[in-house]
Amino acid sequence: MVYKSVLAAVTVILALHQLSRRRKSIIHNIPGPPSPSWIYGHMLQLIFSPEYGDHEFVWQKTFGLIYRLKGCFGEDSLMISDPVALQYIVNSTKFGQGPVLENVVNMLFGKKSLVVVKGGAHKRLRGAMNMGFTAAAVRTYQPVLLRAVQELSERLEESYGGVSSSSLNLCPLLGDTTFRAAVQVGLGCSAEDLGEEFLVNNLQIVRSAPHIFAIGASLPTWIWRTMIHAPLAAFKDIRTATRLTRQLGRRIVDAKLDSARQGLQIDTDVFGILLAKSLGGKTRHALSPEEVAAQFSALVYTGQDPTANTIAFGLLELARHPEFQQKLRAEIQSNVGASYENMPVLNAFIKEVLRLYPSAALIQRVAVEDTILPLSDSIKTATGELMNEIPIRRGQLLTLGVASFQRLERYWGTDAQKFRPSRWLDDTITPYGSDLGPYANLASFLNGHRVCLGWRFAILEMQVFFHELISKFHFTLSEDDLVRVRFSGILIPALRNSFEKAAPICITPI
């Protein structure tokens, strides 16, 4: 009885809250698909569709580059795939990260993590951490990446065992390899040094956290805060991760400070670079040992899964396109010892994979002050008014449709939904602006003050991995192509009706 009364009261408060927001905002005049449910809004269609984009790509065709979507409990959000609006949002400080951070990310990453801190604190921390990811610093990580992928090759050769018809799910192996590389480059130690408890927990986190993030992102903060105390295994894993990353971060920092005191070189990994700078004296970019230790999860959790999944999507496309696979192999074989930058087919391939499969396909932002959103196309409101720009009120939720934008026919051509790396070489991409992202002007790494910290590292990692794997193995599909693109906080390859990562591919050594 008490529960029912509380529920009724909460429902009335939420409804009144939404009504007051509607009166203030003109967003509700912007057309969008009808909402199937007040409780879930469009979230189930957006997040849980059998194949990512089943609804989203159709809505974009019907309603254009900006349309209104409903979040849970009637919350209005603007879905944006207009490049002018996207450019404005990602490069402006008038937008902050959406409630998903309030809800979930700061629980896993910790309040002092780069991923979580805001404003001036973020600017300072980011300035320091960029030092570990400059072009020069990233070049020094190449041997670590080479070792990691060579170990992966050995494991693939062992698993092949001469049976070429059976397929192997590459996702766990790729995830493990990118994880090991991130630990070595970020912290300067091996994965084993982190201990069995962390290794087991990391696997759980990588499996369940993105999914929880996707659900958590759609819930109001108060529901989420109540839920995280529930005795569910997934929340227990996140609490364990928080404890372990705090302890391990501190332990690794102390060991490095000891090495520095003994006169040993420590600036060979990101933690070491940050600490060496701090020991060098008081500069703008000097972080305290505690601040460095708090970046453990920002380096380890962000550095593994998005790259592993992007590589898995790339290998799946190679298996689906044997002619292109052979063309790429020919470029690699005829350029032994050449720099990756001088391999146009390899780089066109990586760009095409990042275009079609941007890990962060949907990114939430919230306006932190009133502003005017510029548009490339004018839009017609439900009342017939033509708008060339949209007044945005503080607090307005926006969803950046990165995948939607990167499949727009007007920029990428009528075959925008298809894998065709040659579009990057034959000049058939229509220009859409210049400031969307740091790599190939794609939005996959975003841009502005929150641009992916590890984008140069991720590109090098993909170059090194694809180069090695394509020169050593043929990739084919053994049975019908059952892999779908699904959204589990980030884009993952998965089998129909499943949210388990899967990239079953037949591998034959060359």
User: What count of residues does the chain have?
Assistant: 510
End-to-end CA separation in angstroms for the chain: 69
Query: What is the residue type of 135?
Result: A
Binding-site member from 126, 246, 250, 327 for ligand HEM (CB under 6 A): 126
Contact predicate 352/396, CB 8 Å: no
Nearer to ligand HEM, 180 or 474 (CB): 180
Give the nearer residue to ligand HEM in terms of CB position, either 209 or 379: 209
Choose, by CB under 6 A, the member of 87, 218, 399, 444 that binds ligand HEM. 444
452 marked as binding residue:
yes
Nearest approach, Cβ of 479 to ligand HEM (angstroms)?
A: 28
The answer to whether 114 contacts ligand HEM (rule: CB under 6 A) is yes
| Token output for 275 | 């600490």
In Å, how far are 206, 209, 443 from 446, measured between CA atoms? 22, 21, 5
Helix (H, G, I), strand (E, B) or coil at 23: helix
What 3-state DSSP class applies to 187?
Answer: helix
Read off the amino acid at residue 447. N
Which one of the spans 298-306, 318-326, 337-345, 409-417 is the region binding ligand HEM (CB under 6 A)? 298-306
Nearer to ligand HEM, 81 or 97 (CB): 97
Give the DSSP H/E element, type plus range, for residue 205.
helix 196-217
Interaction between residue 310 and ligand HEM (CB under 6 A): yes
Report whether 300 contacts 186 (CB < 8 A): yes
- Radius of gyration (Cα) for the chain, nearest Å? 23
The yes or no reply on residue 245 touching ligand HEM (CB under 6 A) is no
Return the number of the residue (179 or 198) whose C-beta is nearest ligand HEM.
179
Does 74 bind ligand HEM (CB under 6 A)? Our answer is no
- Using rule CB under 6 A, residue 214 touches ligand HEM: no
For residue 80, the minimal CB distance to ligand HEM (Å) is 14
Q: Does 346 bind ligand HEM (CB under 6 A)?
A: no
How crowded is the C-beta side of 118, counted as CA atoms within 13 Å?
Answer: 10
- By the rule CB under 6 A, 273 interacts with ligand HEM: no
Interatomic CA distance for residues 394 and 276, integer angstroms: 41
Residue 359 vs 371, nearer CB to ligand HEM: 359
CB of 131 closer than 8 Å to CB of 273: yes
Per CB under 6 A, 298 contacts ligand HEM: yes
Give the residue numbers of the binding site for heme: 452
Site residues for ligand HEM per CB under 6 A: 97, 114-115, 126, 182, 298-299, 302-303, 306-307, 310, 358-360, 363, 444-446, 450, 452-454, 457-458
